[in-house]
Structures are given as structure tokens and as C-alpha cells.
Structure 1
Amino acid sequence: MKTFITRTISALFFVAIMLGGILWNEASFFLLFFLVNLFALLEYFKLVRQIDPSYHEISQWHRYGLVVASCAMMMAFTGNSFGTSGGITLGFLGTCMTVIFLCVLPMGEILMGKNFSLKTLGYSALGLLYVTVPFGLLVNLRLSYNMQAVAIDGAHIGYLIPLLLIIFIWINDTMAYIVGSLIGRTPFFPSISPKKTTEGSVGGMILAVAAAGVFGHFWGYQWLAFQHWIVLSCIAAVFGTAGDLLESKLKRMAGVKDSGKIMPGHGGFLDRFDSLILATPFAWFYIYMFLL
């Protein structure tokens, strides 16, 4: 009972923070996912150190340089959204810093690292690709000029696509848990996530797409065409499930249950956003190819 209460309170707190950051304004959205990216990346590096102890030996320059490079990349994805009176934008500063650090970082590791290894550089590059790029693309979707131009009754709704992705993933996860608990019998990927069942996973996907289709047909047409509701929910369900399995694989390799303990009863940032991390690049590609 105590565990259930703890999970409920932390979940409500989490939802309040998420909705506030997503819906308030562009700056709050960027700040929210800037921080999420930072903590999720730190959890990724912790998992890598547990998977391969040699990653402990990277230099301080490498360790802190990666964090700065990740923050700079997040800034770069804001484009021209945040600027000064002198015409210098946060996106421009971020792009310059990203180029500098990604060029200088390997050279610094060669000169300062005790045991230079291309493998450790690969782990670091994979972390930026796996964590920072998806969150950067999510910020880019929110701050895109074309998305900002979308308005209902005079109110800009650039937050719509990121919010829908999160909602579809939540519906998929919730329905997969309920269906799996009721009729789940066949293990989905027992070597990675023993508790997941094929019935639950497929049921969650179907119900998530069905919920999106019903809402999109009767009410959501004023924001997006029906086919976009279906495709985005499919992306969230399919690639969100794959993202969950991918992070579960990393945790199994590291020999840990959760990526972190920032949320009582819910694990870490990677545990909460693993589905969004993998679904976002595919949603971004779809939006820019077929919607904007």
C-alpha cells in the first residue's frame, strides 16, 4: 500500500510538471526537455559504465565536455526562436558551441585521456545520438515556425504534436499493461523484458490507435486530418514499444532494474522517456515530410 501511494504521488507530480512545461510557453517547453535530456544522458553514461567498466577511465575533459556538447546541441535545435536585440539567437550560439566541442573533444581525449580508446568515444557519440538528438528534434517540432503558425481561435498550438506523442505513448503503455494483465499468456521478448506479453503489447497498440482514430474522427479534425492521427498514433505505439525494449536491454546488460532513482517508484528519466526517445525521430520525419 505504501509503495502504491508513493508511486501515485510521484506520478501526479510528474504529470503536473510535464503539462506545465509543455503547455505554458515555448521557453518552458525548452527548459523542461533541456533538463530531461541532461539527466537522461547522465543516466545513460552511468549504464555504460556498468556495462563496460573501462568507461570509468575517460578523462574529466571528456566527461564534462560531453555534457556541454549535449547542452549546446539542445540549444542549436531551437533555431531562431530565442534571440537578442543584436540578432544573435540561442540556436546560433548552440550551433557554434556544438561544432567547437565535437571537433575539439576527441583531440582533448587523445591528449588528456590515460587510455585513449575509440570504443569510449563511440559510447559517448552513441549517447548523444540516442538521447540528445531525439529530445532536440522534439524541441525543434515545438519551436518550428510552421508549427507555431497553427492556431485555433487565435491561440498557437505548436505544442500539439509533442503532446499527442506523449499521450499516445501513455495510452499504449497503459492499455498494454491492462490487456497483458487480463489475457497475457505469451512472452513478447522474455530475454529482455520477461513481464511483457505479446497479447498485451499488440492490444496496447491496437487500442492506442483506435483511441486516436475515434478522437481524430469526431473532434480532432479541426487540428489535424484523420490520417495524421492514425499515423502518429502508430508511430508512438510501435516505436514507443521498441524504445521501451531497447532501454530494457541496456538495463539488463548493466544488471540494474532502473536507470535511476529520481522518481520514487518510477525509476529514472530514461525509464520514463525511453519510448519517447525512439518515437520522436520517426514522428519528426513524418511531420516534416507529410504535414508541414
Structure 2
Amino acid sequence: MKTFFTRTASALVFVAVMLGGILWADYTFFLLFFLIGCLALQEYFKLLRLIDTDYAAISSWHKWGITIAGAAIILTFTGKNFEIGHIATGLIGWWITVIFLLILPLGDVLLSKDFSLKNIGYSAIGLLYVIIPFGLLIHIRLNAINIHYTANDVGTAPGWLIPLLLLIFIWINDTMAYIVGSLIGRTPFFPAISPKKTMEGSVGGMILAVATAGIYGYFWGQQYLALQHWLALAGIAAIFGTIGDLIESKLKRMAGVKDSGRIMPGHGGFLDRFDSLLLAAPFAWIYVQFFMMA
């Protein structure tokens, strides 16, 4: 019972913080996912140190250098939307990123006892896997005015709509997959990675997520988003969100841990909470750029 109340309380706090950050303003949206991205990157480092002990030997210079580079990369996605001393934060982010990515290998050669290109590769993958998706999500939010939300209008919906819908569709997919899997799940779905997932549950969750989006979009949502966008974004969230969950499960299995972190009592870490979003966000960004941008 104590565990139930702990999980419920932490979930309510999590939802409140997420909704506040997403809905309040552009800068709160940026700050929210900036912090999530940087902290999730630290959890990725922790998993890598457990997977490959060679990575545990990286210098403090490498660890904090790649963290600063990751933070700077997220900053680049703000473009000209924010300024510090009349200088666009996106430009500041670009300069910091370039400087650190250039001098980081040099510092590694000079400061590390055992210089390893493999470790640099691990860190680079971390930037692609963890940092870029959150940056792309911020880019969608801050460039919402150029998005075709409906057939005839541009920028008629709030900028937070698409990122929030991705999170909602991922949640619906996960919830429906759990329910369907519990009721009729028989066939294991990648048992070596996630033994509890079933094919019936995964497919059922995807179908019900898209169906829910389609029904809501058809009857109530077309004033905000064209029906095909409801369906496409739900499909992206369901399909790529499921793959993203499997990828993180594989990393945790390789590391021999149940959760990536303990930031949320009873719910794990940031990677656990946003593993689906890490893969769904880039594909949603591609969809927005090719099919929704003015």
C-alpha cells in the first residue's frame, strides 16, 4: 500500500510539472526539456559504465565536456527565439557546441590515461540518442507559427499541441498495450529484451492509440489539427515509441539494472519515462517538416 501511494504521489507531481512546463510558455517548455535532456544523458552515461567498464575510466574532462556539449546542442534549437545580451541563444549554442566538440578529443588525448576512440563513439551516440530528440521537440514548439495545422490555416493551434499529443499518444499506446496484453497476450514480443511484452498487446496498443486519435480527431479535433495529422502522429508515437521502449530495455538488460535512475520513486529515471519519446520525437519532427510546415 505504501508503494502504491508513493507511485501515485510521484506520478501526480510528474504530471503537474510536465503540464506546467509544456503549457505555460515557450521558455518553460525549453527549460523543462533542457533539464530532462541533460539529466537523461547522465543516466545514459551510468548505463554505459555498467555495460562497458572501459567507459568508467573516462576523465572528468570528457564526462563534463560532453555534458556541456549536449546542453549547447539543445540550446542551438532555440534559434532566434531567445536572446542573452542581444545575442540569439541559438547562435551561442552553436559556438559552444563547435568549440567543445573540437577541443574535447584534444583534451582526451592529453588528460586521459587510456585514450579511446570507442569511448568518444559511445559519447557521440549519447548525443544522438538522448540530446537530439529533445532539441527537435523544442524546435517544433518554437516554430509552431509556420505549421499547417488544418487544411486552410497556418499556425491556428498552440505551439505545445504536437509535443503534448505525442506524449498523450505514447501514454495511450503503453496503457492499451498493457491492458490488451494482460487480457489476450500469448505470443512473446522480443522475449530476450522485454519478457512481459506480447505481440497481441503491442499490436493492440498501436491500433487502439491510432483509433482513439482518429475518433477524437474526426469528431472534435479538426478545428485544431487535420484528421490525417491526428492519425499520422498517433501512428508515429505508437510504432516508434514502442521501438524506443525496446531499445532502452535492451540497454538496461545489458547493464543488468531494472531502472535507469531513481529520480521518480516507483517509476525509475528520466530514460525510463522518456524512452519512447526519444525515438518518436525525431520521426514526428520529420513528419512536421515534410507534411506540415508552411
Deviations 1:172-217 (A, max 9, x none): 0011111111111111110000010111111100000000000111
Matched, 1:289 2:272: no
| Contact 2:147 2:292 survives alignment (8 Å) | no
Cα deviation, residue 146, structure 1: 2.9
Q: Counterparts of 1:285 and 1:200 in 2: how far apart (Å)?
A: 27
Q: Counterparts of 2:15 and 2:8 in 1: how far apart (Å)?
A: 10
Aligned to 1:53: 53
Cα deviation, residue 4, structure 1: 1.6
After superposing the two structures, state which structure 1 stretch, 214-223 or 246-255, moved more: 214-223
Deviations 1:59-104 (A, max 9, x none): 1111110111011011111111102463x11111001100111111
- Taking a change above 3 Å as real, the CA distance of residues 145 and 197 of structure 1, as seen in their structure-2 partners, is closer
Q: Counterparts of 1:25 and 1:91 in 2: how far apart (Å)?
A: 18
Q: Counterparts of 1:27 and 1:177 in 2: how far apart (Å)?
A: 35
Aligned to 1:75: 75
| Contact 2:133 2:282 survives alignment (8 Å) | yes
Aligned to 1:206: 207
Matched, 1:245 2:254: no
Matched, 1:172 2:173: yes
Matched, 1:129 2:139: no
After superposing the two structures, state which structure 1 stretch, 194-203 or 76-85, moved more: 76-85
Aligned to 2:92: 93
Q: Counterparts of 2:243 and 2:3 in 1: how far apart (Å)?
A: 28
The two structures have a TM-score, normalised by structure 1, of 0.96
Structure 1's consecutive aligned runs of 4 or more residues displaced over 4 angstroms after TM superposition are 147-152
Aligned to 1:20: 20
Aligned to 2:145: 146
Aligned to 2:227: 226
- Taking a change above 3 Å as real, the CA distance of residues 188 and 30 of structure 1, as seen in their structure-2 partners, is same
Q: Residue 260 of structure 1: SS of its match in structure 2?
A: coil
Q: Counterparts of 1:77 and 1:205 in 2: how far apart (Å)?
A: 30
Cα deviation, residue 57, structure 1: 1.1
Q: Residue 187 of structure 1: SS of its match in structure 2?
A: coil
Whichever residue aligns with residue 69 of structure 1, its letter is A
Matched, 1:184 2:185: yes
Across the two proteins, how many residue pairs are aligned to each other?
290
| Contact 2:149 2:226 survives alignment (8 Å) | no
**CA RMSD between the two structures:** 1.7
Q: Residue 189 of structure 2: SS of its match in structure 1?
A: strand
User: Which sections of structure 1, spanning at least 5 residues, go unmatched?
Assistant: none
Identity of aligned residues (%): 66
Aligned to 1:30: 30
